[in-house]
């Protein structure tokens, strides 16, 4: 019975220590990307407001990988300017001079619920290429990595972003909520006007892959603490 009690206690201590991990490290996981983990928001671009008052609009909603677009190739994902909303002759989406009427914010991400609570999350990635046109008629394009924090019901808590430049990089965010239903999203977004499919190739894209993620030091501490306590209990029961 003593052996059983000791074993149970040691596993309980390990579980308690593990639940108090002070930091989490994550990276790109394209297998988690789907039409359910994409989002698009848009508003009238500054170019449209200045040159074609009345054109453009505002909105947001779930999208799809293909429409975003976000193209998955193995462990990598490629994001590029949105073209599925481009509609010549429709002022809501396209200006008379052929430029896109709206500033599009296209996001693809991994989403977790209740996995990270009261902790700091670091999202690491490797930008393999970034050929986005920083300036173009109607507006240029930018892309960034983000971590977004929501409470239950997607009550916004905050976020952190970093621009995507070639090479390994990361973004870190300390979660401000402390709720078992904490929703965390980490991924990438591309911002710029909707583009003409006939000319979009000249506007570039971004290719991102996973980065090596170190094991959190807290896990090692949790395990060693559990073993130390187990050893002390065994000594007392000899």
Identify the CATH number of the domain in which residue 101 sits.
2.60.120
In a shared domain, residues 83 and 199: yes
Number of domains within the chain: 2
pTM: 0.82
pLDDT at 213: 67
pLDDT along the chain (238 residues), means of 10: 43 42 88 98 98 98 98 98 98 98 98 94 98 96 97 94 98 88 96 97 98 59 40 44
Tally: H helices and E strands in the chain: 3, 12
In a shared domain, residues 87 and 45: yes
In a shared domain, residues 180 and 235: no
Give 184's strand partners.
Answer: 112, 149
In a shared domain, residues 148 and 65: yes
CB count, 10 Å around CB of 1? 5
d(CA 118, CA 231): 30
Q: What residue numbers bound the domain in which 237 lies?
A: 1-21+217-238
In a shared domain, residues 114 and 208: yes
In a shared domain, residues 165 and 74: yes
d(CA 213, CA 210): 9
In a shared domain, residues 118 and 152: yes
In a shared domain, residues 35 and 94: yes
Whether 47 contacts 139, CB under 8 Å: yes
In a shared domain, residues 193 and 92: yes
Q: Edge-to-edge, what's the strand order for the sheet holding 59-62?
A: 59-62, 38-44, 102-113, 183-193, 142-151, 155-163
In a shared domain, residues 222 and 206: no
In a shared domain, residues 114 and 201: yes
pLDDT at 58: 98
In a shared domain, residues 210 and 222: no
């Amino acid at each position: 019975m003593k052996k059983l009690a000791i074993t149970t206690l040691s596993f309980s201590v390990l579980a308690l220590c593990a639940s108090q991990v002070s930091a989490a490290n994550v990276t790109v996981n394209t297998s988690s990307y789907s039409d359910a983990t994409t989002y698009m928001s848009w508003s009238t671009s500054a170019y449209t407001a200045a040159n074609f008052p009345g054109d453009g609009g505002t909105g947001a909603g779930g999208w799809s990988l293909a429409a975003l677009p976000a193209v998955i190739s193995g462990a990598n994902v490629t994001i590029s300017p949105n073209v599925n909303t481009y509609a010549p002759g429709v002022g809501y989406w396209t200006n008379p001079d052929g430029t896109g009427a709206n500033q599009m914010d296209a996001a693809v991400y991994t989403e977790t619920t209740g996995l990270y609570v009261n902790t700091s999350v670091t999202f690491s990635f490797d930008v393999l290429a970034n050929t986005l046109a920083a300036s173009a008629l109607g507006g240029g394009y930018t892309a960034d990595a983000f971590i977004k924090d929501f409470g239950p019901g997607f009550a916004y808590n905050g976020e952190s972003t970093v621009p995507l430049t070639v090479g390994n990089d990361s973004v870190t965010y300390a979660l401000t909520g402390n709720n078992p239903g904490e929703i965390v999203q980490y991924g990438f977004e591309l911002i710029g006007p909707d583009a003409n499919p006939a000319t979009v190739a000249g506007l570039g894209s971004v290719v991102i892959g996973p980065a090596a993620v170190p094991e959190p030091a807290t896990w090692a501490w949790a395990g060693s603490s559990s073993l130390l306590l187990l050893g002390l209990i065994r000594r007392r029961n000899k």
